[in-house]
C-alpha cells in the first residue's frame, strides 16, 4: 500500500475531531481536501476506513490504519524536533493519547503529567477503568495506558508500576447507623453503597467475601473520583476508597481494619523508539515508585 503522510494525518484528525469540518480546521485545509485525502487513503487500502456518521467512527480496518497513522506521526514529530525542522519548530509539543483510570488521575498521575508537559508534550487523556484500558491500546486510540493487566497487548511493552490499596470506608455517623454491629451479610444487604459506574464491581467483590451470595443493596452512582470520595465523607454510603485519597483531617472509618484490596497497576505502551514516549514512561514510573505500594 502507498499510504501518504497527509492522508494518514487526515484520518487521525477526522477520528480525533469527530467531523470532516473540525478535522479541516485542525489541519488548516478545506473539508473537501480532507474528504479527498480520506478517499485516497481508502482507495490505497482497498477498503472503507471510516463510517461517515456524526461523530465519524473508524471501521475495524480504519482502527488498524489509525494505529499506524499515530505511530508515524509520533516518530515524525520526534524526528522533526531533533532536526529542528523549520516547518515544525523544536518547541512544538508532541501529542500523546493515554488511558488512565480515574483514581490514579485524581491522585498521583496528574503531577507526573505536569512534569512531562514541561518537556514539550501534550496529552489527550482517556478516562477508563484500569480493567478496560487495554481495549483502547488494542484499537489504537491511545499510545499508552495504565492498566491492571499484566499481559502485554500485542505490539506493546509492559512494566509493573505498583499497587493502589482500597479499603471499605464510611463516615462515623453512617457507621453508627448501618454497621453498629460490624460488617455482616445483614448490614451489607441494607446499607447504601457508592459505585463509580455500572462497571465498578469492587464493592460487590467485598460483599461476596463476607456473604458468599449476591445482594442488592441501595446504591448511588457517582462517576467522579473526587465526587466518589466526597460522597463517602458526606455519608451517602460506603465505598472502596483508595488510601491515596484519604486526607489528614478525614474522620473516615474502615468497615473492617483487615479488609482491603491491592489493585496492581501496569504501564503498557506501544513498542516504539520514541524519545517523547520514553520520557513520559519514565516520568510515570518515577511517580508510581513514590506513590504506590
The CATH number that applies at residue 179 is: 3.40.190.10
Q: What is the pLDDT of residue 92?
A: 55
Instruction: Say how many C-beta atoms besides its own lie within 10 A of residue 183's C-beta.
Output: 22
* Total count of domains within the chain: 1
| DSSP-derived secondary structure letter, 238 | B
- Tell me how far apart the alpha carbons of residues 146 and 129 are, in angstroms, rounded to a whole number: 9
* Contact indicator for 74, 276 with CB cutoff of 8 Å: yes
* Contact indicator for 159, 266 with CB cutoff of 8 Å: yes
Q: Specify if 97 maps to a domain.
A: no
* Contact indicator for 27, 91 with CB cutoff of 8 Å: no
Average pLDDT on 152-169 reads 95
Q: Specify if 276 maps to a domain.
A: no
Instruction: Say how many C-beta atoms besides its own lie within 10 A of residue 83's C-beta.
Output: 10
Q: Specify if 278 maps to a domain.
A: no
Q: Specify if 159 maps to a domain.
A: no
Q: Specify if 111 maps to a domain.
A: no
Q: Specify if 140 maps to a domain.
A: no
Q: Specify if 288 maps to a domain.
A: no
Band of pLDDT at residue 85, cut at 50, 70 and 90? low
pTM of the model: 0.79
Domain extent, residue 175, equals 164-262
Cα–Cα separations (whole angstroms), residue 276 to 81, 141, 160, 161, 185: 10, 17, 20, 19, 51
Least confident residue range of 10-19, 123-132, 282-291: 123-132
Amino acid at each position: 500500500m502507498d499510504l501518504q503522510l497527509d492522508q494518514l494525518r487526515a484520518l487521525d484528525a477526522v477520528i480525533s475531531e469527530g467531523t470532516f469540518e473540525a478535522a479541516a480546521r485542525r489541519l488548516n485545509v478545506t473539508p473537501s481536501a480532507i474528504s479527498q485525502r480520506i478517499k485516497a487513503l481508502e482507495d490505497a487500502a482497498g477498503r472503507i476506513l471510516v463510517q461517515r456518521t456524526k461523530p465519524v467512527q473508524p471501521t475495524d480496518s480504519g482502527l488498524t490504519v489509525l494505529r499506524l497513522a499515530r505511530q508515524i506521526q509520533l516518530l515524525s514529530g520526534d524526528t522533526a524536533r531533533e532536526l529542528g525542522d523549520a516547518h515544525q519548530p523544536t518547541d512544538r509539543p508532541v501529542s500523546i493519547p493515554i488511558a488512565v483510570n480515574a483514581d490514579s488521575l485524581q491522585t498521583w498521575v496528574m503531577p507526573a503529567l505536569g512534569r512531562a508537559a514541561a518537556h514539550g508534550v501534550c496529552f489527550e487523556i482517556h478516562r477508563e477503568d484500569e480493567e478496560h484500558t487495554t481495549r483502547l491500546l488494542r484499537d489504537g486510540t491511545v499510545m499508552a495506558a495504565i492498566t491492571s493487566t499484566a499481559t502485554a497487548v500485542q505490539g506493546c511493552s509492559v512494566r509493573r508500576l505498583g499497587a493502589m490499596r482500597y479499603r471499605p470506608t464510611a463516615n462515623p455517623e453512617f457507621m453508627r447507623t448501618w454497621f453498629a454491629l460490624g460488617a455482616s451479610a445483614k448490614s451489607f444487604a441494607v446499607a447504601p453503597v457508592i459505585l463509580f459506574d455500572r462497571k465498578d464491581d469492587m464493592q460487590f467483590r467485598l460483599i461476596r467475601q463476607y456473604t458468599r451470595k449476591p445482594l442488592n443493596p441501595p446504591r448511588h452512582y457517582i462517576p467522579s473520583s473526587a465526587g466518589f470520595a466526597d460522597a463517602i465523607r458526606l455519608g451517602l454510603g460506603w465505598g472502596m476508597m483508595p488510601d491515596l485519597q484519604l486526607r489528614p483531617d478525614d474522620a473516615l472509618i474502615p468497615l473492617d481494619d483487615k479488609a482491603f484490596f491491592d489493585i496492581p497497576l501496569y504501564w503498557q505502551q506501544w513498542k516504539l523508539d520514541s524519545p517523547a514516549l520514553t520520557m513520559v514512561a519514565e516520568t510515570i514510573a518515577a511517580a508510581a515508585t513514590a506513590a504506590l505500594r
